[in-house]
Amino acid sequence: MATPYQRVLLKLSGEALGDPATGHGIDPEAVQKIARQVARVAQLGVEIAIVVGGGNILRGAEFSKLGGHRANADYMGMLGTVINGLALSDALEQQGLETRVATAIEIRQVAEPFVRKKILAHLEKGIVVILSAGTGNPFFTTDTAAALRATELECEVLLKATKVDGVYTADPKKDKNAKRYEEITSMEAIQQGLRVMDGTAITMCMENKLPVIVFNLFEEGNLERVVRGERLGTRIVS
């Protein structure tokens, strides 16, 4: 069955791979659940690049508040994303997919360096590419890395996987009157201070006319539904 997308970038938080109760560490069952969803999308013929965070292992910004230098803390966080990338790669290959882990910092023994043309060639062959280590620079989030890589790789949409079913006017856990947006512009998200992505990431998506779909990954089958064009979650447009 044809889908509206040929190439997508999936942004995963590190917590998505962690213990369901705490979001910490790496939970094999959680990783396998994500791998199964990605496999179903790959079987549709959709090219998939994945950017994964590292918050289940370490958040650089939070660690630096304890006294560490922010740049060093961010590099530690980047290494956490590489660990997550390797775990996800292994799970995807157990599903029969071919994968590559590419990093923005060189760790040649475990992953290849990010080279745009090489990554494009992988995607065109149906290889799932996991992009780790953020942008390779401190002070930038993996949201910004996702926006940057999606633009570089000419993806048609950035799929931001979360634990909630979209973007709300307020925190739905705290405000019972919070309403979910079906669609919102990047500028509206910035002006209203909606914490769906950091400002740099949203601005980059807006300037490059890259749509973002925020959806709940933890309902089985949602990734495939979004890729097939079902109106799930919230669509952020430029």
pLDDT in tens, 144-164: 999 999 999 999 999 999 988
pTM of the model: 0.94
* Residue 172, domain member (yes or no): yes
Query: Strand 212-216 and strand 234-237: pairing?
Result: antiparallel
* Residue 208, domain member (yes or no): yes
Q: Does residue 126 surpass a pLDDT of 80?
A: yes
Question: Residue for token digits 């799929």?
Answer: 159
Query: Strand 180-181 and strand 167-168: pairing?
Result: antiparallel
Q: Does residue 1 surpass a pLDDT of 60?
A: no
CA angle (113, 117, 122) in 5-degree steps: 80
Residues 6+ apart with CB under 8 A from 48: 7, 8, 9, 10, 38, 41, 42, 123, 128, 129
pLDDT at 120: 98
pLDDT at 195: 81
Six-digit token string for 26: 């790496």
Residues 6+ apart with CB under 8 A from 62: none
Residue-wise pLDDT tens digits, 40-54:
999 999 999 999 999
Domain of residue 55: give its range.
Answer: 7-237
Looking at the structure of the chain, the number of domains it has is 1
Six-digit token string for 57: 């292992």
216: β partners: 162
Q: At 22, is the secondary structure helix, strand, or coil?
A: coil
* Residue 90, domain member (yes or no): yes
What's the average model confidence in pLDDT over 129-152? 96
Question: Residue for token digits 């590489």?
Answer: 82
Residues 6+ apart with CB under 8 A from 193: none
* Residue 2, domain member (yes or no): no
Q: Does residue 173 surpass a pLDDT of 90?
A: no
pLDDT at 75: 92
* Residue 86, domain member (yes or no): yes
Question: Residue for token digits 């201070």?
Answer: 193
In one-letter notation, the amino acid at residue 228 is R
* Residue 1, domain member (yes or no): no
* Residue 36, domain member (yes or no): yes
Which H/E stretch holds residue 4? none
DSSP 8-class letter at 230: -
CATH of the domain at 214: 3.40.1160.10
Residue-wise pLDDT tens digits, 63-119:
777 777 889 989 999 999 999 999 999 999 999 999 999 999 999 999 999 999 999
Q: In whole angstroms, what is the distance from residue 95 CA to residue 89 CA?
A: 10
Largest alpha-carbon pair distance within the chain?
53
Query: Strand 112-113 and strand 99-103: pairing?
Result: parallel
* Residue 124, domain member (yes or no): yes
pLDDT at 100: 98
pLDDT at 41: 97
Six-digit token string for 39: 């496999």
Residue-wise pLDDT tens digits, 185-212:
999 999 988 888 989 999 999 999 999 9
